[in-house]
Structure formats: C-alpha cells, structure tokens
Structure 1
Amino acid sequence: MYTFHSELILRGLTENPDLKFPLFLVFLLIYCTSVLGNTGIIVAIHMDPDLHTPMYFFVSQLAMLDLFYTSVITPNTLADFNRRIKSITVLRCAIQFLFYGGSATTESYLLAVMAYDRFVAIHQPLQYIKIMSKSVCKMLVAAAYIAGYFNVCIQTGFTFKLNYLKDNVIDHFYCDMLPIVKLTCSDIYINEVVIFIFGGFASVSCLSVILYSYVNILVTILRIQSAKGRSKAFSTCASHLTCVSIFYGTVIFTYLRPPSEYMQDNDKAIAVCYTVVIPMLNPIIYSLRNREVKKAITKIVNKQKLLPIYR
C-alpha cells in the first residue's frame, strides 16, 4: 500500500557551509526591513486621516498580505540555516503551502482590485467615492481572500493526496507545490491540469482586469489636455504598475509551466525574489513614490520625537 512519509526534509538554499552565515545575515536584514516597512505603511495609513481613502485602504491590505506571507516562509528559512537536518512534518508542510500559496494568490487578486480602483479614480473621478465606497472596498478585499484561498485549498488537496514512495527530501527551502510533486510515484497528469486550470484562471483573470483597466487609464490620460494633469494622473498608477510587473513576472515564470519543466536552481533564485524580496520592495515602492505616504510617515516620526517634550 502506498504511504506518505511522516516527515519531510528540506534541502534548503545551499549546502555550502561557507555561504550559510552570509545568507542568514542577508535574509535577516531583508526580513527585518520587510516587517518594519510593511508595519510602517499600515500604521501610517491607519493614523493619518488624509490616507483614509480607497486607494490607501488597498495599499494597507497589500502590506498586511506581504507581512503575512513572508512570515510564513522566512523565519523558518532563517532557522534552517543553523540546522543540520531541516525536517518538517507533512502537516506543517501542507499548512505552510496553504497559507503561503493562499496569501500569494490573494495578492494577485488584490493587485487586480487595485488596478480597477485606479481605473475608476481616473476614468470617473466625480463618482469615485460613491463607486468605491467603504462597503464596496471591504467586499472586494473579502472576495480576493475567498478566491485566493479557495484556489489554493483545491491545489493543496490534490497535491497532498498523491502517493509518495520515492524520497522525502524536498529540493527547496520551503514547501512549494512543484518540488513536492516531483517526489510522487503517482501519475501527475491530473495535478498538471489542476495547476493550469486554477493557477491559470487566477493569473489570466487578474491580468485581464489589470490590462483592461490600464488600457482605459491610458486612453483617459491621453485625453487630458495639460501635461501636468497627465503627469499627476499617471503618477497615481506608477507604484502599482511597478508592483504588478515584479510580482507577475516572477510568479508566471515559476507556476505556469508543467512540473516536468521545473528547473530547480533557477526557480530557487526566483522563489527568493517573490517570497522574501518582493514583500520588502512593495512598501519601499509605495513610500518612495507617494508624497502622501512620505508625508504621513514624516508626521508620525516627528510626533514621536516631540512626545518626550510633552511628558
């Protein structure tokens, strides 16, 4: 009878002992920057009434997702640099894959929602607040979470019901679907179909919304008479476009391929980008390219400096 190993071993990023400590320091620095950056964005948006708008509500949700899904992966990776045997139970592996994958897929839907928000803001500015009301914004975020986690729940179920007799060593630094599927002795045709249907639907539907929104945004911007007006309209989309390009560029390359074409060395480097680096870059992109966020952060910092004077 086929059985699943009770414990799995993560091979990690490198087996070279000379690289483990430098990589540990780099990952620790990136993770601390991610936590501080995303927390700073959330606090700034929460505390500054000027940022209580639909756009920044979605930015705060993006920061929370980045904070959550990098925390699912990075702390365990940091601990693994100091472990000789990087073991993980099957249950923990499935939970890690579910929460990381669910958060990442939710982020793809949220980026599509943010593109629609920018489309409404530029295409129908007079109706913007009415269309993107608080209830609508909350409903869109809830829909993104439901769609994201439903998608990954299906994929998790199909992945962990396979029969595994080959090996229990996952050639990766966290539990991801493609390296896990490589261990199976079962026919993975159904899994490939599931990956393409559910992963493809999420990517194609979200990218379609993003492309449709930005085509209409571009048409609207080109109709603006003044150069200053065009520049201001486009600047509100620049941060989002940058985040979309980085996120989808890495995710599509990794997941929208059959497992048979899985290239481990290249994909480990790309996985570092979207699990560790992107959650650090998003708050930097939004804080550097948005005057309102920079202003809010400056106000909070200055307020904290003044607190001892009033105590």
Structure 2
Amino acid sequence: MSFGTDIGELLTSSNTFNADLIFGSNKKTPITFDTFELIYIEGAQFSICLGFEDNPGSKNELTLKAEGLKAGQTYPIRPEDPGVRAAFALGNRIEYFPDEYSGALTVDLLEYKDGRIALSMQFSIYFKPDGKGDMEVVCHALQITCALANHGATGKFVPKHRVQAKVPVLCEINASVNGSYDPIDLGNVFFVIYSDSSYFIQCLPRDGGDRAVLEFAGRELKTFTDYPITGPGGPPNSVDTLFIMRPEFSYGFSDPTGTFRVRRTDHPDEGFWFIGEFNFSITARGSDGQNTQYDISSSVFQVQVSELRT
C-alpha cells in the first residue's frame, strides 16, 4: 500500500495511535506507526492499515479487516469467520505473521455522519512467529476523526511529545571484523521507559541513512549492574538486542551474545538519563554462505529518555 494525504480532510488533532509489542518476559517495543489508510462502508465493511510514512510497505504495517462494526461491542480477532482479520509486520523484529492468531477488538466509539467518521478503539493480538516465543500487540488507543471520500481516507497520527534532551545524547560504536574497525555514529536515539520500569532504546545513524540499527529492550536499568545481551525473547534479566549492519547482514545473522553495563544513572527533573557501555559478538552469513564474526563495542553511550509510557 502507499500512504498519502490527498483523500479526505483530516482533523489530525484527534488522530492517535498508542501501541506496544510485548514479548520475552513482558519486555516491550513501542509500535510507532505514523500513518493510516481507512476504508469504511457503514454496516458492511471496515478496513484499516497502519504504517510508516517514510518506510511504507507490507514489511512495516498492521491491518484489521471486518465486515461490520458497532460501538459498544467487542469482537474476536481471528482468521476464522465471524471475526476481525489481522496481519502484522515490524521490520526485522516481525517478518512473517503466522496463520494462527487470536485476540479481541473493543469499539468504544464509531460514528459516521455527513461524510465524517469518528472512531475510538483498543485491541490486542496474540501470536507466535516461527522460531520465536509468544508475542502480543497491545493497542491502548486508536482514535481517528476525519472526512471520507468514496468511503476512504488516509492521514497521519499526532506525534507524541518528546522530552527535550538536557544532556548530550551519544551512541558511538566500533564494529570489528578480522582485525579492522568500522566506527559508526548511532546518535539518533529513541528511548522509552514504561511505568513498570521496562524500557526500549533504538539507535539509528545520526546523519540518516540505513547503515546500521541497534535496539535494546529490558526490564530495568540499575546503576553499576551488568546484564547479559541476548536475542529477542531472552530470560527476564537479559537485554534483548537487535543489531543489523547493511549490507553485511543482508544474508542473515545470528542472535548476539555479550554484556550490557549500566555505569551511572541520574533522575533530574528534565528526564532520566544514564551512561552505559556494551559489547557483543554476532555472526553474519555472507553471499558465499560463509559465516563471519563481528565484535561490536560502544566507544561512548549516554542517552536520555525521550518518552514516558504507562
């Protein structure tokens, strides 16, 4: 699908999407879809597709489809009729959505009048991707108010307020392979802390591009504490880590193993921040089928929370 803004007049102040992917001992990854495509025929058809404006396509989207919905009702999410059909993909974290899934969709508000629609929903979807543990998408709020043209509309969600960094945000790494070093600046950092103290950190190239992506998810951040680094779905005390370098990792890669260290934490009024360090090894498969080990280490790692979530 492609997203645009040429269909329908939008009231973006009412458009909200707040959801998380929960996995591995209640660790969380925020789902930050920023666009939607909606089709609605009253009493007959409801279809919504959520995705990224800057990275559209079936590898990054969530869809829900139903024959008809009413306010005040809860509907099963499942592949069988009657039910709400679903599909979900989130980059390298969720590449394939299984045929079997279950969940529920609650419609708090659904009004259509004079060519305008207002809806408010929440839902959860349970599934188990191949080779991974149980996962759940939990949408705390999906709210849209917009005009429809030919039963359809596209639009954007209101960005969440981000805490302004009061300390330098730094994430610089060295990727070592066969005695050579490749320094990479991943200073574009998104850091979320939840009310249960779990967290998610995403580090992208400071100057844009897709050279590498680094993500951490864990249950806590305690001063002077070491945590084992594992792939997604690790034990409760581990830091689930996803790392990809392009083009080196294009033909597949292993789960990382290493250590994540918290050296200092601070809780000023302007937002929690900490200084840490990490190192891990990861194996990538080349186009010739040969495996190559990469050793990744931080040269500087200081980050401040961007967003607090309940």
| Structure-1-length-normalised TM-score | 0.25
Structure number with higher helix proportion: 1
Structure number with higher strand proportion: 2
More relative contact order, 1 or 2 (CA 8 Å, 6+ apart): 1
